[in-house]
Structure 1
Amino acid sequence: MSQAGWRKSSRSGGAQDSGCVEARVAPWRKSRRSSGAQDSACVEARPASSGFQVRDSKLGDASPVFDLERTDFTSLLRAAERD
């Protein structure tokens, strides 16, 4: 999945002019507290229709994506602040 932009369904014919609907995909964001280094260990997040999605930044597009409801994401952030 791309970082950001428009995404077609995997059922789309693949042809440039195939009639299908595209959906906007929000970009992944790292915490401002991340060191900024490309290889820094960090979790990335983005908004999703069900709440938020999170993934491991070290794995990038190969990372599994976890869907969290808004309340679960808030709990994750609170737990991370305590560490």
Structure 2
Amino acid sequence: MYASSNIARAGYQADQVAFVAALDRAHARSFHSYFTQYVLTDDETGYIAVDEGDYGALPKTMLDRVVDTVPTKLTDEF
């Protein structure tokens, strides 16, 4: 069972190395950002990590490509 329909569409051809690299990048960025990090499918590189703060609310075309999210580790509420 796949957790995402985007991964299911890619099937066995999914580039796991690119996915793990994008997920690692999203986790690393989450420690330095107040925004959620997203891992998206990408036709050229396989997967990419984007910061919600870079785009504001993600457009529908990007939301359809989300395969994983990493919440922020920063908070300004103490």
TM bin (shorter chain): under 0.3
- Of structures 1 and 2, the one with the larger relative CO (CA 8 A, separation 6+) is 2
With normalisation by structure 1, the TM-score equals: 0.25
With normalisation by structure 2, the TM-score equals: 0.26
Could you say which structure has the higher helix fraction?
2
Could you say which structure has the higher strand fraction?
1
